[in-house]
A and B are shown apart, each in its own frame.
Chain A
Amino acid sequence: MKHIKLILETGEEYLGESIGHDLEHVFSLGELVFNTSMTGYQEILSDPSYCDQVVVMTYPLIGNYGVNKDDFESLTPALKGLVVRECPMHGSNWRNEYSLREFLARFKIPGIAGIDTRELTKKIRDRGVMKAALVPQDYPVRNLSEVFARPLGTDQIARVSTKNPIHFPGEGKRIILMDFGYKKNILRSLLRRNSDVVVVPWNATVDLIESYRPDGVVMSNGPGNPKDVPEVLPVIKHLQTRYPMFSICMGHQLFALANGADTEKLKFGHRGGNHPVKDLRLGKVFMSSQNHGYAVTTASVANTELEVTQININDRTIEGLKHRTLPAFSVQYHPEACPGPEDTAWLFDDFLKTIRN
Chain B
Amino acid sequence: MPLQNHLKKVLVIGSGPIVIGQAAEFDYSGTQAVKSLIEEGVEVVLVNSNPATIMTDRETAHKVYIEPLTTEFLLKIIHKEKPDGLLPTLGGQTALNLAVKLEEGGHLKRLGVQLLGCRVDTIQKAEDRKLFKELMQEIGEPVPESRIVTTVAEALEFAERIGYPLIVRPAYTLGGTGGGIARNQEELFTTTTSGLSASPIQQCLIERSIAGFKEIEYEVIRDSKDNCIIVCNMENIDPVGVHTGDSIVVAPSQTLSDKEYQLLRSSALKIIRALKIEGGCNVQYALDPDSFQYYVIEVNPRVSRSSALASKATGYPIAKIAAKIALGLTLDEILNPITKKTFACFEPALDYVVTKIPRWPFDKFVGANRRLGTQMKATGEVMALGRTIEESLLKAVRSLEVGLHHLELPEWRQRTRNELLEKIARQDDERLFVVAEALRHGIGPEELFELTRIDRFFLAKIQNIIAMERRLEASGRGPQVLRDAKRLGFADVTIAAIWKCEEADVRRLRKEHKIVPVFKMVDTCAGEFESSTPYYYSTYEAQDEVLESPKKKVVVLGSGPIRIGQGIEFDYATVHAITAIRDLGFEAIVINNNPETVSTDFNISDRLYFEPLTVEDVFNVVERENPIGVIVQFGGQTAINLAEPLAQLGVRILGTSTDDIDRAEDRKRFEELLRGLEIAQPLGITVTSVNEAVEKSAHLGFPVIVRPSYVLGGRAMEIVYDEFELKDYMRRAVQVNPEHPVLIDRYMIGREMEVDAISDGETVFIPGIMEHIEKAGVHSGDSIAVYPPQTVSAAILKQLAETTISITKALNIKGLINLQFVIYNDEVFVLEVNPRSSRTVPFLSKVTGVPMAKIATRAILGESLRSQGFSDGVHPIGDSVAVKAPVFSFAKLSDVEIALGPEMKSTGEVMGKDRVFEKALHKAFVAAGVVIPDSGTILATINDKDKEEAVRLFKRFYQVGFDFLATEGTARVLKAANIPVRTVARIGQGEDDIIKEIKSGRVALVINTISKGKNVESDGFKMRRIAVERGLLCLTSLDTTEALLRTIERNTYSMDAL
Contact = CB atoms under 8 A, between A and B. Distances in A.
Interface in A81-106: 85-86, 88-90, 92-95
Contact of B254 (A40, A61, A70): A61
A298 to B, nearest CB: 18
Tier of interface size on chain B: 35 or more
Contacts of B342: 313-314
The 3 A-B residue pairs whose C-beta atoms are closest, nearest first, are A40-B258, A119-B543, A92-B457
Given A71-B257, A283-B225, A274 B348 contact: yes
Interface in A293-327: 313-314
Interface in A40-75: 40, 42-43, 58-61, 64-65, 68, 70-71
16 contacts: A36-B526, A38-B349, A38-B350, A70-B259, A86-B387, A116-B541, A122-B527, A125-B528, A272-B349, A273-B347, A283-B225, A287-B230, A314-B342, A338-B258, A341-B265, A342-B266
A278 interface: yes
A86 B351 CA distance: 12
A64 B347 contact: no
Contacts of A95: 257
B226 interface: yes
Contacts of B290: 94
A332 B455 CA distance: 38
A21 interface: no
B352 interface: yes
A93 B351 CA distance: 21
B891 interface: no
Contact of A39 (B261, B266, B520): B261
A285 interface: yes
A118 B257 contact: no
B436 interface: no
A284 B225 contact: yes
Contact of B345 (A285, A338, A339): A285
A340 interface: yes
A121 interface: yes
A314 B343 contact: yes
A274 B232 CA distance: 11
A61 B225 CA distance: 35
Nearest to A343: B269
A64 B255 contact: yes
A88 B460 contact: yes
B347 A274 contact: yes
A88 B457 contact: yes
B257 A68 contact: yes
Interface in B240-254: 252-254
Interface string B331-364: 1100000000111011111111100000000000
B542 interface: yes
Given A121-B526, A285-B332, 7 more contacts: A85-B388, A86-B388, A92-B255, A119-B542, A122-B543, A272-B526, A275-B346
Interface of B: 225-227, 229-230, 252-259, 261-262, 265-266, 269, 289-291, 331-332, 341-343, 345-353, 387-389, 455-457, 460, 520, 525-530, 541-543
B388 A59 contact: no
A38 B260 CA distance: 12
Contacts of A64: 254-255, 457
Contacts of A272: 349, 526, 528
Given A94-B291, A125-B527, A287 B256 contact: no
A92 B543 CA distance: 30
Given A116-B541, A278-B332, A341-B262, A36 B229 contact: no
A267 to B, nearest CB: 11
B343 to A, nearest CB: 5
B541 A71 contact: no
A117 interface: yes
B289 A60 contact: no
B351 A121 contact: yes
B488 to A, nearest CB: 10
A273 B347 CA distance: 8
Contacts of A118: 351, 520, 526-527, 541, 543
Contacts of B252: 38-39, 59
A159 to B, nearest CB: 26
Contacts of A59: 252, 349-351, 526
A123 B225 CA distance: 37
A65 B458 CA distance: 12
A42 B527 contact: no
A276 B345 contact: yes
Interface residues of A, number: 52
Nearest to B523: A118
Contact of B389 (A61, A71, A90, A341): A61
Contacts of B265: 341-342
A122 B544 CA distance: 12
A337 interface: yes
A172 B519 CA distance: 56
Given A285-B227, A285-B331, A341-B262, A39 B343 contact: no
B230 to A, nearest CB: 8
A85 B541 CA distance: 10
Given A59-B350, A64-B457, A276 B332 contact: yes
Given A119-B542, A122-B543, A60 B262 contact: no
Given A71-B257, A117-B351, A342-B266, A36 B343 contact: no
Contact of A93 (B255, B262, B331, B348): B255
A39 B253 contact: yes
Interface string A186-227: 000000000000000000000000000000000000000000
Contact of B388 (A60, A119, A285, A287): A60
A68 B292 CA distance: 14
B216 to A, nearest CB: 12
A36 B256 contact: no
A43 B255 CA distance: 16
A95 B347 CA distance: 26
B388 A284 contact: no
Given A64-B254, A93-B255, A272-B528, A36 B349 contact: yes
B71 to A, nearest CB: 38
B526 to A, nearest CB: 4
Given A58-B526, A58-B527, A121-B351, A274 B346 contact: yes
A158 B274 CA distance: 46
B486 to A, nearest CB: 14
A86 B353 CA distance: 12
Nearest to B525: A36
Given A40-B258, A339-B258, A121 B457 contact: no
A42 B343 CA distance: 29
B218 to A, nearest CB: 12
Nearest to B351: A58
Nearest to B257: A65
B456 A92 contact: yes
Nearest to B520: A118
A90 B455 CA distance: 13
B528 A36 contact: yes
Contacts of B346: 274-276, 287, 313-314
A117 B256 CA distance: 22
Nearest to B389: A61
Contact of A61 (B227, B257, B353, B520): B353
A343 B230 CA distance: 12
A226 B455 CA distance: 44
Nearest to B527: A121
A119 B331 CA distance: 30
A214 B388 CA distance: 51
A314 B351 CA distance: 20
B790 to A, nearest CB: 59
**Residue from A38, A86, A274, A341 with most neighbouring chain B CB atoms (10 Å):** A38
A119 B519 CA distance: 12
**Residue from A40, A85, A125, A341 with most neighbouring chain B CB atoms (10 Å):** A341
**Residue from B266, B348, B389, B457 with most neighbouring chain A CB atoms (10 Å):** B457
Contacts of A85: 387-388
